[in-house]
Amino acid sequence: MNLNDSDAKWFPKWFAAYYSFPPVSRARSKNPGSRNAPVTEELVIEFLKDLKNHRQPAWRRLQAARALEFYQGIILRCNEVDFRPIRETLHVWVNREKCIPDGCGEYSPDLVAGEGNAGVIDDQEPKCIQRMRSTLRRLHHPKSTEDAYVGQVKKFIRHVGDERLEKFGEPEIGDFLTDLAINRDFAANSQNQALSALLFFYGKVLGRNLHFINSIQAKKSTYLPVVLTRSEIEELFSYMSGSYRLMFLIMYGGGLRHRECRTLRLKDICLEKRTITVRDGKGMKDRVTVLPDSAVPILEVQIASVRAIHQGDLDDGLGEVYLPYALAKKYPRAQRDLAWQYLFPSPKISRDPRSGRKRRHHIHERTFAYHFKRALDRSDILKKAIPHSLRHSFATHLLEDGADIRTVQELLGHKDVQTTMIYTHVMNRPGISVRSPSDRLGLL
């Protein structure tokens, strides 16, 4: 058996894991005169099942099986275990998880399960849901979109009482949306999300173009965004600490959305030019916004912290970070580079639920929201502010300071200037200065 570089690196590690596997250790203890680990079909299958229980992808389990086969043939010089059916079964799972192309016997680092391909999908889910997950992943949609769309389609399945959605069309979708608007009192945005999910399913999964859908839609409310005053910003900021102070400064000082701030990477920050490059913002667009000078000292400390964390991960044989789309194929070594690490990394290593890869992701979406809410509770502010209110405040304060509406539009990444115009309605002095008539009378 010829060993490539990957096998030469990993075969000893897989054998070490097998050697210390508790059932193997117990089997060794029965024969204290031998230092070799016994290889039996029962032990091998139990070991591979344990790897699966620890969410090791199929291509890794296949490599582990090949390592044990190599050990049996070269070290033990026997053929007690027939590894052919084991390898054939694992090859089926490997191809099913799309970790490697069909018919290929080795792992391909160009393809990662669940990232631009089907990945691991629960075969207990309805067939239509499995197909939808596969399509969403091939088209590089994030997990949040996958969860939201799948949730809406499952609601539609419960509505029609049938998993074979190809039987239905515009009338049933119209009835479903009407039911959401009237009987379930869904907000307009939730109803629109349900429609988008069904349009995606019928258009991208089934290849059908839906025509006019007659439904009663929930009335979309018009509201003004919650904007914090400058003094309220200062008060809230005084209750923030650590890296959350930096996130606060970046979101308010640069107008970033919460998600855009969480997903920043070190390479997106330019200290010299005082700019932040926002990658893959809303609408999958990139833009450049301002990096506040006040954030620089804290930012330098944060970068040093990320550097130390990443070096520790590399020393532990980890250090990999998620790369979007085809970048992992184009830059295969970039996933371990410092420049691609998240500016706000998670405090712990986690396993990607779609690919099974162990990585350090960015902090969870609820982390900053929790600290923001705690700061709000400690303050005297009565407004129902959320992290996104920092972005609203950024835009409003820029306009109050005389910034051009088009400049604010570009900094925010709005496609239509009408979206930016909403902030002119919440400025302290919209348009010309207006004085209340009661002030002129001096009633008090």
The rounded distance, in Å, linking the Cα atoms of 20 and 35 is 12
**437: part of which helix (H) or strand (E)?**
helix 437-441
**Residue 137, Cα to own-chain centre: how many angstroms?**
12
Position 177: which residue type? L
Dihedral (C-alpha) 113, 114, 117, 123: value to the nearest 10 degrees?
90
Task: At 199, give phi and psi (nearest 5°).
Answer: -65, -40
Other residues' Cβ atoms within 10 Å of the Cβ of residue 7: 18
The ranges of the chain with pLDDT < 50 are 99-110, 430-432
Max Cα separation, the chain? 105
Cα 148 to chain centroid, rounded:
13
* Dist CA 235 CA 378 (whole Å): 10
Query: Using one digit for the tens of pLDDT, what is the confidence trace for 382-392?
Result: 999 999 999 99
- Per the CB < 8 A criterion, the answer to whether 358 and 350 are in contact is yes
In 239-338, which ranges are continuous DSSP H helix? 243-254, 258-262, 296-315, 327-330
Residue-level pLDDT at 121:
77
Sign of CA dihedral 214, 218, 223, 226: negative
Q: How far from 338 is each of 198, 236, 259, 263, 356, CA to CA, in Å?
A: 40, 32, 21, 15, 22
pLDDT for 109 equals 42
pTM for the model: 0.66
> Given this model, what pLDDT does residue 337 score?
92
Residue whose entry in the numeric block shows the structure tokens 């204290």: 32
Whether residue 391 contacts residue 374, with contact meaning beta carbons closer than 8 Å, is answered with no
| 8 A C-beta contact, residue 107 and residue 58 | no
Phi, psi of 208 (to 5 degrees): -110, 135
Bridge partners for 278 per DSSP: 287
Q: Which pLDDT belongs to residue 429?
A: 53
End-to-end CA distance of the chain: 95
Q: DSSP letter string over 13-51?
A: HHHHHHHTSHHHHHHHHT-TT--SPP--HHHHHHHHHHH
| pLDDT number for residue 96 | 64
Half-sphere exposure of 105 (CA within 13 A, CB side): 9
Catalytic positions, please? 257, 282, 388, 391, 414, 423
Residues 6+ apart with CB under 8 A from 401: none
Cβ atoms of 24 and 42 within 8 Å: the answer is no
Q: Identify whether the C-beta of residue 150 lies closer than 8 Å to the C-beta of residue 133.
A: yes
- Rounded CA-CA distance 185/129 in Å is 25
Q: How many CA atoms lie within 13 A of 248 on its CB side?
A: 25
Contact 255, 411 (CB under 8 A): yes
Q: Which helix (H) or strand (E) holds 398?
A: helix 388-400
Which residues, in sequence order, are bridge partners of residue 289? 276
Q: Is 36 helix (H, G, I), strand (E, B) or coil?
A: coil
Q: How far apart are CA 168 and CA 433, in angstroms?
A: 57
- Look at residue 110 in the predicted model and tell me its pLDDT: 45
Residue position matching structure tokens 């893959």: 280
13-42 as b/e: b if 16+ CB within 10 A: ebbebbeebeebeebbeeeeeeeebbbeee
